[in-house]
Amino acid sequence: MFKSKKFTIFFVCLLAVIFFSIYSLINRKNLPIITPRDVNPELVDTLVQHIGYNHKIAPFSFVNQNGKVITNKDYEGKIYVADFFFTTCQTICPKMTRNMAWLQDKIKDNPKVKLLSHSVFPHEDTVEVLKKYAKEQGVIDSKWNLVTGNQQDIYKIARQSYLVVKTGKPEEMYDMVHTENFVLVDQKGRIRGFYNGLNIDKEVKGEQNLTQLLEDIEYLSEKD
């Protein structure tokens, strides 16, 4: 009788474990690894449109608001959010920067996460200009790099690595980059999502907002 009772308890506990394991599996978050083949072809340079596996952000080297050279090595093993802006922009950039500052406040105590903003007017956005802008926006140097550098390198990485800018003819490769996208990159340098940098929590069909971005960052942090 006693053995039978112990077996019943064990069997019930086993069923509970199996049930919750199946429930977790069914309801776990689906955060895809995005490649050029997954994105609207108009947003992908023809040189990388064929890539459907193992697409990663290409190696880069830029200079930040403190005059320090920032490379992909500084983001190795980190989750990070990237965007493109310029300090004199009067349209989408001010709101994007405020929203990136909002995100900085949310992730400032998470050592696994960093931010990266590329100036698309690098000739005007010198180190001195970026430093002044960073102070005005409350940038935490250890969390958020505002970078300048070779314009062609910045435009190329926007189109061929981050997949955020519409490209038509080859000669348009180095045309103006202007996008509201925030790009989520995981610890292995892979794109995991695109988010509207102008929208913190408004529900818009077909778009992911920054509240969703924050949830996805937390998800990747827990998986690491």
CA distance 210 to 194: 10
Is 89 among the annotated ligand-binding positions?
yes
Is 118 among the annotated ligand-binding positions?
no
Is 13 among the annotated ligand-binding positions?
no
For the annotated binding site, the residues are 89, 93, 178
For the annotated binding site for Cu cation, the residues are 89, 93, 178
